[in-house]
Structure 1
């Protein structure tokens, strides 16, 4: 658990990592630990800023969903800026994996929340506008797990949400893997690299 959450201010932690590394699980556990310790906390996932599937299809981006250009990066930065202010309730979007769509206004970051954990692929990316993310975070972690485990998780996830085995493998070894290579190159910018236990 973080030991440097200011009193009574807000601490914004970013968790980066490749698809299937376990970012969401790590973020959820941190929030649970904080809550158990009496610290109000919430997760704001970058996945909530995915462009709608209809937009991706119209722009020919459906096959590369998860790549940097398939997110509303400026919208994500704007929400982080509002989260940093901590003077009003910020309504952030979530991502529904069953629908494969973002859901607007579904996460409330109340003024009294002290720990905000945001997790996503490109928090440490050097390209604009993603590079601006670091200035809005107090600390960044990079989640790393063995590549084979990560790919196995991705294939299982894709199948769980409706893809055939062949489709799941194609996606995991195609666009997911290209994104993973880009994300791996950002690890050195993290304040901390963590290797969570394998469940």
Structure 2
């Protein structure tokens, strides 16, 4: 599977008219944001870097302190202000500056600081995450820092299957995985789907 020509043409047009492009890719959990972002990165390998929103997950100890550990993945379990600050730094990056972004490691279920170097010569910055289009709190500042925003649309049954399998892969029982998807991931998904109208391009995969 590969990106449709319309998607590549869209990126090419942006790169042709400006020096740096910040591309936002949003979707509900399990829709394939990370896969799409990696496809784009591979297509523009020398020009691009992927910056995932998931690096701004709050640490497990902080989620426990806030009483939100059982809702991990909801919009208020991220440092949205920190994420907006990162995007602003990337947007206004100087030619001799390296901006470091965090990443989320699923094998330990924790974010790792300063794991992704964003070099000033990278012309295509691929930002991927669930809440890029959300009209709430600091999240609503995100779209103003991006040059283009995409929403990834996928068959719902396939998305749910992917989600359950992902949770099983990282240690949950099939029953616990299904319960987490129903009680945590899907309420988040409905909130994300409600923000779809803010996307400038819908990518059906």
Q: TM-score w.r.t. structure 2 length?
A: 0.92
Gaps of 5+ in 2: 1-7
1:62 aligns with 2:69: yes
Q: CA RMSD in A?
A: 1.0
State the match for 1:138 in structure 2: 147
Contact 1:10–1:86 at 8 Å: present in 2 too? no
Give, in whole Å, the separation in 2 of the partners of 1:73 and 1:57. Answer: 18
The match for 2:132 among 123, 126, 140 is 123
State the match for 1:93 in structure 2: 102
Offset at residue 86 of structure 1 (A) = 2.5
- What's the secondary structure of 1:129's corresponding residue? helix
State the match for 2:120 in structure 1: 111
The match for 2:202 among 188, 193, 197 is 193
1:11 aligns with 2:21: yes
Gaps of 5+ in 1: none
State the match for 1:177 in structure 2: 186
- What's the secondary structure of 1:15's corresponding residue? strand
Identify which range, 73-82 or 54-63, moves more after superposition.
54-63
Q: TM-score w.r.t. structure 1 length?
A: 0.94
Equivalent residues in 2 for 1:14-53, closer than 5 Å: 14-35=24-45, 39-53=46-60
State the match for 2:171 in structure 1: 162
Give, in whole Å, the separation in 1 of the partners of 2:85 and 2:33. Answer: 22
Give, in whole Å, the separation in 2 of the partners of 1:52 and 1:128. Answer: 20
Query: Which contiguous aligned blocks of 4+ residues in structure 1 show a shift greater than 3 angstroms?
Result: none
Compare the two structures and name the one with the higher helix fraction: 2
How many aligned residue pairs are there? Answer: 193
Offset at residue 7 of structure 1 (A) = 6.2
